[in-house]
Amino acid sequence: MTLLAGELYLLRLQRRNQVEVYDVITYCLLRRLTVPGFRTLVSPAFVDMTSCEHYRCVYIADLDGKCVHRLDAQGTFTRWTVNDKPRSLSVNAAHNVIVTCNKVRKIKEFSSHGDLLRELTLPDDVIKPRHAIQTLSGQFIVCHGGRHNPVRRVCMMSADGRHIVHSHGGQKGSDTDQYRVPIHLAVDDNEFAFVADRDNRRVTLLSPTLEYVSQVVSRDQLKSEPNRRFLDTLFLDTQQRPTRLCLDTERRLLYVAESDRYNTAGCVEVFSLK
């Protein structure tokens, strides 16, 4: 899920090679885009998406293909290899693509057209990194840890990826300083970080130094029917879990993509941050 030029681009969780595009005001479906040459061995193969207003394009992480697909404003698809399985994407201030490869604990930086610019290996205790975003100062905010890992937290890494500067979290749990599966991030213009905690079913707001500020989305809010948009009608599981975040800084809206435990039903909820 990502925003580009007043439109919301959305990936479904089924085995499809299509991207759905919605108007951000009316939430009406505008079109579907087919990704050429796509194939999948398991579902889902498309695992994350981000965009770049500078180059007017959208990037899609292809887990099975070990590549990134690029869609430009003219509707042209290209792709380039990552050589590892890409788990998530973001774009930095230099308009380059930050690819998080969790199996090998690496962050890779690519140009818009797929030139590998650098590759960072994270410390051994940053296990299973899920998503990384580079700040204006060059540091990286990384969420990491899953169900079978002893530590689940959000870390601010040094620009070379070798050192932890700040962190929030630790052992799994449901307290305000704990996570179960911190799976995705969004960072605003003031470098406050939004963290989707999948299995605690909430979104937490952290300060620029990763101190707890508030819970901006609770599990009770995720049950709220009136906010639901783009609903997958296969069937509705009330235990929807946040899996992806997208921040509209201009309108101060937070888009939260959710799915059930088995990725059989999902939706997007829109929350005002004003």
| Bridge partner list, 59 | 50, 70
How far is it, in rounded angstroms, from Cα 139 to Cα 104?
20
Please give the pLDDT value at position 146.
Answer: 86
Instruction: Give 37-72 pLDDT, tens digit per residue.
Output: 655 555 558 899 999 999 999 999 999 889 999 999
Please give the pLDDT value at position 235.
Answer: 42
DSSP codes, 31-81: EEEEPTT---SSS--EEEEEEETTTTEEEEEETTTTEEEEEETTS-EEEEE
How far is it, in rounded angstroms, from Cα 70 to Cα 76?
8
* CA 210 to mean position of chain CA atoms: 18
Please give the pLDDT value at position 204.
Answer: 98
Sign of CA dihedral 181, 126, 102, 188: positive
Q: Where in the chain are the domains?
A: 2-272
pLDDT < 70: residue spans in the chain: 13-17, 37-44, 223-238, 261-265
Please give the pLDDT value at position 75.
Answer: 84
Residue whose pair of structure tokens reads 């009136």 in the numeric block: 226
How far is it, in rounded angstroms, from Cα 193 to Cα 169?
14
Please give the pLDDT value at position 39.
Answer: 58
How far is it, in rounded angstroms, from Cα 123 to Cα 112?
27
Please give the pLDDT value at position 16.
Answer: 61
115 CB-near residues (< 8 Å, 6+ apart): none
Please give the pLDDT value at position 234.
Answer: 42
CATH number for the region 2-272 comes to: 2.120.10.30
Please give the pLDDT value at position 64.
Answer: 87
What is the SS3 assignment for 215?
strand
**Pair of tokens at residue 190:** 């003031």
**Pair of tokens at residue 251:** 């309108």
What is the SS3 assignment for 121?
strand
Please give the pLDDT value at position 238.
Answer: 53
What is the SS3 assignment for 140?
strand
